[in-house]
Structure 1
Amino acid sequence: MKIVISGFYGLGNTGDEAILESIVDNLRGELDSPEITVFSLSPEETARTHQVKSIYRGWRHQFGDKIKALREADLLVSGGGGLLQDTYPTKFIFGPLPYYLLIVFLAKLCRTKVMFFSQGIGPITSTWGKILMKIFANMADFVTVRDQYSKDYLLKLGVTRPKTVVTSDIVFAFKKKEDDACLKSLELSNTDNLVAVSVRPWFEKVKQFEQIASILDELIEARKITPVFVPMEGHHDVNASQKVLEKMKHADKCVMLGEKFTPNQYLNFISKCQLTIGMRLHALIFSTISGVPHIGLSYDKKVESLLKRSGMWEYSAVLEEINEENLTKNAITLLDNRDKFVQIVKNNAETMRVDAIRNLDLLKEHFVK
């Protein structure tokens, strides 16, 4: 079976690279020698890392190669991740939303089947974005989404033709390989009280950096934790982490991981931590997979949806509604009663792992002859 995968790949985002690794590994585990081609911004690196064919994803280069790959494919897998949104400006053919939908349109012109795979939908607020969704998303042959919110959002947008099934993020089916490169790189004398911290820039919002700094200072004093910043998207997250450190009294008690580790290596590191405090969705997913209690700072409905499913929503907060005192108390509760919360998170992670594997079952059911 020949499959083309289209997504936010080859741009150094750990969450999206984890999605790709999980899709590729699971396709190979479930199908008989699939031929996989990935549209990537770094095609040579993607091909080398995953042993797949890879084509430059942008319009400027290899357009004919993209058409050829789609024409020869049995299926276009669009996803996973939050591809269909217009948080960033959407113009006539520019921006993520038009790009991914036009890839779908090209696939249909090539008479290739299309599956939206483990996607998170929205927000889509522009008139043009809504029109694009109603026209092109309805061309998909089958849709799986990673949460109920996304399914409801599709219906609200008028995307009704393909059947939509709620599963979970495909990273819950990630095939972990033991690798302690992250932990070894830190050379810490004491690794008993590590707390993973994942922060990201979010447009002009900066108040959260000072608030996170205050929470970490309190936890260092109250529980002698060692905060470790985990940059899930390279220099963007390194810069955001530095903004937190600049506000801290005890910045000398913190460390930062390098930005060039693989998704598997970051996952292995987070699994060694006592707690995660984070904004990045896939840092929180890695924590859930590993049974690590976590406090999420939700800047988007996708984060809130995950936290509700992982059982950690009542200990978390919407980004604009952070209460430092409450979140510090919540963190101490999670640390002091860790065994109890580990079990809650693990139980919920298993449910989502089963749902993630269902993405593959549904793909086989609808597209494998």
Structure 2
Amino acid sequence: MKVVISGFYGLGNTGDEAILESIVDNLRAELDNPEITVFSLSPIETAKTHNVKSVYRGWRHENKEKIRALRKADLLISGGGGLLQDTYPTKIIFGPLPYYLLIVLLAKLCGTKVMFFSQGIGPVNTKYGKLLMKVFANLADLITVRDEYSKELLHKLGVNRPKSIVTSDIVFGFVPKEDRACLDSLPLSEEDMKRVVSVSVRPWFGRTEHYSEMADILDRLLEEKDVIPVFVPMEGHHDVKASNLVIEKMKNKNKVHVLDGNFTPNQYLDFIGRSRLTIGMRLHSLIFATLKGVPHIGISYDKKVESLLKRSGMWDYSFRLEEVDTIKLVNNAIEILDNHNHFSTAVSQNAHELRSEAIRNVDLLREYFVK
């Protein structure tokens, strides 16, 4: 079977690279010798990392190669991740929403089947975005989404022709491999990891309040529980910068560590899995924590984060970005740390169900598209 994968690949985002690795690994595990081509912003690196064919994803180069790959393909996998949204500027053919839907249109014009694979849909707020979804998303042959909210939004947008099935984020199908690279890069021991709180912060449209809030939270936890905060930058230099902005505001700067921004998804996953607690903004930092049975507190800037936290069982201890109560969050963190085994067991049980749902994405692909 020949498959083309279209997503936010080759841009250094840990969550999206984990999505790609999980899709590729699971396709190879479940299909008979699939031939895989990935549309990537860094095609040479993507091809080398995943042992796949790769074509430049943008419109500036290799458009004939895109058409050639789609004509040869049996299926376009669009996803996973939060591709179909207009949070970022959207004009004519520019922005994520028109880009990914134009790839879908191109695939259909080439006679290729299309599956939206483990996607998180939205937000879609503009009239243009809603029109694009109603016209082009209905071209898909099958849609799987990672949460109930995404399915409901599709129906509100008038995307009803293809069947939509709720599964979970394909990263829950990720196969972890032990890799101590992150831990070995820090002056910490295995014993120290019992005190580590993994922290994920990100920039968010010019907002800065959350940097001060996180600084206050970590200072309080340092004083009350003697934790070791370690920032895990899930999107390279963007998150390294955000982490340093938090540290600048802390009283206990010398007790905090920041991981390098160039580790692999599996290496970050391994590190988060060794920590005691994760406090995260990035969706996939929280998915990594869930996958490894690590209790976590999320700071939700988007419905996709809230949806995940409800499924992992940690929403009652988490906050929306604009509603963070630093004292309550610290108290929640202390409760979790003091009852670690209870929370870890509950998260692990939920992760087991989410993993089954993630693997179902590939089962459905095989059921609908493999003859």
TM-score (norm 1): 0.99
Aligned to 2:298: 296
**TM-fit CA distance, 1:282:** 0.1
**Where do residues 140-289 of structure 1 align in structure 2 (5 Å cutoff)?**
140-189=140-189, 190-289=192-291
Please state if 1:123 is matched with 2:123: yes
TM-aligned CA deviation for residue 353 of structure 1: 0.3
Tell me how far apart the structure 1 counterparts of residues 93 and 127 of structure 2 sit (CA, whole Å): 14
Alignment of 1:1-369 (within 5 A): 1-189=1-189, 190-369=192-371
Offset from partner CA, 1:217-274 (integer Å, 9 cap, x none):
1111111100000000011001110111011011110001011100000000000000
Q: Distance in 1 between matches of 2:253 and 2:29?
A: 44
Distance 1:296 1:51 in 2: 34
- Paired with 2:174 and 2:67, the residues of 1 have a C-alpha distance of 30
Amino acid at match of 1:62: E
Cα shift readout 1:121-143 (whole Å, capped 9, x = no counterpart): 00000110100000000000000
Kindly provide the amino acid, as one letter, of the partner of residue 35 in structure 2: E
Q: Distance in 2 between matches of 1:192 and 1:26?
A: 32
Offset of residue 82 of structure 1 = 0.1
3-state DSSP of counterpart to 2:274: coil
Where 2:334 maps in the other structure, the secondary structure is helix
1:187 Cα shift?
2.3
Distance in 2 between the 1:192 and 1:46 partners?
35
User: Contact conserved, 2:167 with 2:360, CA < 8 A, in 1?
Assistant: yes
**2: CA distance between counterparts of 1:191 and 1:117?**
35
The whole-number CA distance in structure 2 between the counterparts of 1:208 and 1:140 is: 38
Distance 2:174 2:276 in 1: 21
Q: Secondary structure at the match of 1:186?
A: coil
In structure 2, the residue corresponding to 1:121 is in which secondary structure? Answer: coil
* Structure 2 unmatched runs, 5+: none
Asked if structure 1 preserves the Cα contact closer than 8 Å seen for 2:295 and 2:344, the reply is yes
Distance across 2 between alignment mates of 1:344 and 1:177: 23
Find the aligned partners of 2:2 and 2:188 in 1 and give their Cα distance. Answer: 46
CA distance in 2, matches of 1:330, 1:295: 8
Please provide the CA RMSD for this pair: 0.5
Deviations 1:51-97 (A, max 9, x none): 00000000110000000000000000000000000000111110010
What amino acid maps onto 2:161 in structure 1? Answer: R
Map Cα deviations across residues 247-304 of structure 1 (whole Å, 9 max, x no partner).
Answer: 1011110001011100000000000000000100000000000000000000000000
Deviations, residues 124-164 of structure 1 (Å, cap 9, x unaligned):
00110100000000000000000000000000000000000
Provide the C-alpha distance between the structure 1 equivalents of 2:62 and 2:193, rounded to a whole number of angstroms.
48
Separation (CA, whole Å) in 1 of partners of 2:120 and 2:220:
35
- 1:24-54 Cα offsets, whole Å, 9 max, x none, are 0000000000000000000000000000000
Amino acid at match of 1:169: D
4+ runs deviating over 3 angstroms: none
Give the match's secondary structure for 1:84: coil
- CA shift, 1:191, in A, is 2.8
- Cα distance in 2 for residues equivalent to 1:365 and 1:188: 47
**Residue identity matched to 1:172:** F
Give 1:85's aligned amino acid: Q
Q: Which residue identity lines up with residue 233 of structure 1 in the other structure?
A: E
Report deviation, 1:316.
Answer: 0.3
Q: Distance in 1 between matches of 2:174 and 2:359?
A: 10
Task: Output the amino acid matched with 1:285.
Answer: I
Could you tell me how far 1:192 is from its partner in structure 2?
Answer: 2.4
Instruction: Please give the per-residue CA displacement for 1:2-39, whole angstroms capped at 9, x wherever unaligned.
Output: 00000000000000000000000000000000000000
| 3-state SS, counterpart of residue 118 of structure 1 | strand
